[in-house]
C-alpha cells in the first residue's frame, strides 16, 4: 500500500469530535446560498417570459386575422373558367396583354397593371 491509502485507512478509524455542533451547523447554513432569493428571481423571470410570450401570441393572432380578412374585399377568381376553356393563368395574361397591345401601340403597360386589369375584368 502506498502512503495515501495508509493515511485514508487511519482517518476512517477516527471519529471526529466537535466542541460546538450548533455553531458548526449555523456556519454551514450561513454559507449556503440564499435559496428563497434565487427562487423569487427565477419566478420573476418566468413571469416575464410568460408575459412576453402572451403578447407575442396575441400579436400573431391579430396579424393572422388581419391578413386573412382584409378590410377591402377581393373578388375570388373562378378557376373553373380557366379550366373550361383550357387556359392557364399565364396564358390568359398573355392573351390579355396581346389584345391590349393591339388596341394601343403607344401605351406601355407593366405586368402589375396588367394583372390588376385582368382581375377587374374577371
Interatomic CA distance for residues 95 and 83, integer angstroms:
15
Range 2-14 average pLDDT = 87
* Distance separating alpha carbons of residues 100 and 106, to the nearest angstrom: 11
Model pLDDT for residues 70-103, shown as the tens digit of each residue: 555 555 554 555 455 555 656 777 777 777 766 6
Give Cβ neighbours of residue 4 (< 8 Å, ≥ 6 apart).
none
In percent, the amount of the chain with pLDDT more than 70 equals: 70
Q: What is the pLDDT of residue 70?
A: 57
Residue 48 has pLDDT above 60, yes or no: yes
User: 94 is written with which cell numbers?
Assistant: 398573355
| pTM of the model as a whole | 0.33
Amino acid at each position: 500500500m502506498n502512503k495515501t491509502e495508509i493515511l485514508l485507512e487511519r482517518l476512517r478509524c477516527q471519529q471526529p469530535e466537535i466542541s460546538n455542533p450548533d455553531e458548526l451547523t449555523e456556519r454551514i447554513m450561513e454559507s449556503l446560498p440564499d435559496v428563497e432569493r434565487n427562487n423569487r428571481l427565477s419566478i420573476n423571470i418566468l413571469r416575464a417570459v410568460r408575459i412576453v410570450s402572451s403578447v407575442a401570441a396575441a400579436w400573431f393572432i391579430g396579424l393572422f386575422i388581419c391578413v386573412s380578412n382584409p378590410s377591402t374585399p377581393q373578388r375570388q377568381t373562378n378557376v373553373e373558367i380557366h379550366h373550361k376553356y383550357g387556359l392557364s393563368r399565364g396564358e390568359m395574361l398573355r392573351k390579355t396583354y396581346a389584345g391590349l397591345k393591339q388596341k394601343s401601340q403607344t401605351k406601355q403597360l407593366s405586368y402589375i397593371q396588367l394583372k390588376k386589369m385582368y382581375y377587374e375584368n374577371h
